[in-house]
Amino acid sequence: MNGITHGFGMGFFVWIIPFAFLILFIYLIRGREESKSDSNTTAQNILDRRYASGGISKEEYEEKSKDLQKHA
């Protein structure tokens, strides 16, 4: 054989490891983007749901909504 490898050998790992790191990198970046977009709308969404369900009054909703807009 004189050092010639057949089948998968090291050639398999030469391309599969960087590919796995690329997939992991994309997965982590997507997760970070989704969490940022969720955190930007979560407070207002919660407030909207509480008002829609009757959990808070119109005055309280308007006051808290204005406060959220100030801090956004």
Q: What is the mean pLDDT of residues 58-63?
A: 94
CA angle 28, 33, 34 (to 5 degrees): 100
Is residue 23 assigned to a domain?
no
Residue 48 lies in a domain: yes
First to last CA, the chain: 68
Q: What is the DSSP letter of 55?
A: S
Q: Read off the pLDDT of each residue in 40-45 and give the average, rounded to a whole number.
A: 76
| Percent of the chain predicted with pLDDT > 90 | 38
Structure tokens at 41: 């709308």
For the chain, the maximum distance between any two Cα atoms, rounded to a whole number of angstroms, is 84
48 vs 34, which has greater pLDDT? 48
Domain hosting 63: range is 42-72
Q: What is the pTM of this model?
A: 0.43
pLDDT beyond 80 at 55: yes
Flag whether 63 is in a domain.
Answer: yes
Any idea what DSSP says for residue 4?
A: -
* Best CA proximity match to 58, nearest among 72, 48, 44: 48
What total of structural domains would you count in the chain?
A: 1
Q: Is the pLDDT of residue 6 over 60?
A: no
Residue 48 has pLDDT above 70, yes or no: yes
